[in-house]
Structure 1
Amino acid sequence: MTDENATPIFERGDVVYGDDPFKDEDDARPWLILANHETRPFHGEQYIALTLTTKSWMDGLIEIPEESWLRGGTPDESRIVPWGVQSIDIKDIDFWQGRVESDRVDEAVAALVGELQ
């Protein structure tokens, strides 16, 4: 995460906590930031992200072992949901939660592409 003029700019691999558009207005969850391209419109305002879950019984979830967290983490053991893609807005993000290593992010992107093919 970078901080330009006190407005945070989240980067690929950052995990943020914010609104879940599929639940009630007061519900939120962690999101893994996949893309924040400086050359695209809405840089620093809109992010492509995958949801994280504490569920473990679904096939295809991507584990985040403790050693994959470069900084921060989640209070409960979480997994990446590769089919849970969303475009999230900066105003829906409550706080930065941590950063996951790039190999884990690459695995999540590859799984998302697999879901789309």
Structure 2
Amino acid sequence: MFSNFLDNQQFYTECTEHFFVVQIFLKMLRAYYNHVRSFENTLVTKFFGLHCVKLAGANQKKVRFVIMGNLFCSDHFIHRRFDLKGSSLGRTTDKPQTEIDEYTILKDLDLNFIFRLQKHWYQEFQR
């Protein structure tokens, strides 16, 4: 299960993670920490916490989640939000077009824009 949430100011984001993803985070922690300390203005996402809570009740399922900074926090209005995974299987929103608003999380196959790039940028992406 994956979920992604922003706080009211859109400065922080939270997402749940599978156990194996948490293990990857922990393995790269030292190198990540050194990079962020060395390059203050890095565009690498800043992680503020990796947490695990055990739910109450009969299930007692563990939920792991990470709190990270939102690189795209700005004063500009966001009119479309996408959760892109690079897959096509089940990757459309289940809302009718008339109900999609700025809070709807769209998926890979909902991205129907044509992107125009300057020639040198296009060539860089082709490498």
Quick check: TM above 0.5?
A: no
The structure carrying a bigger strand percent of its residues is: 1
TM category (shorter chain) comes to: under 0.3
The structure carrying a bigger helix percent of its residues is: 2
Greater RCO, CA 8 A, separation 6+: 1
Q: What is the TM-score with the length of structure 1 in the denominator?
A: 0.28
Larger radius of gyration: 2
Q: What is the TM-score with the length of structure 2 in the denominator?
A: 0.26
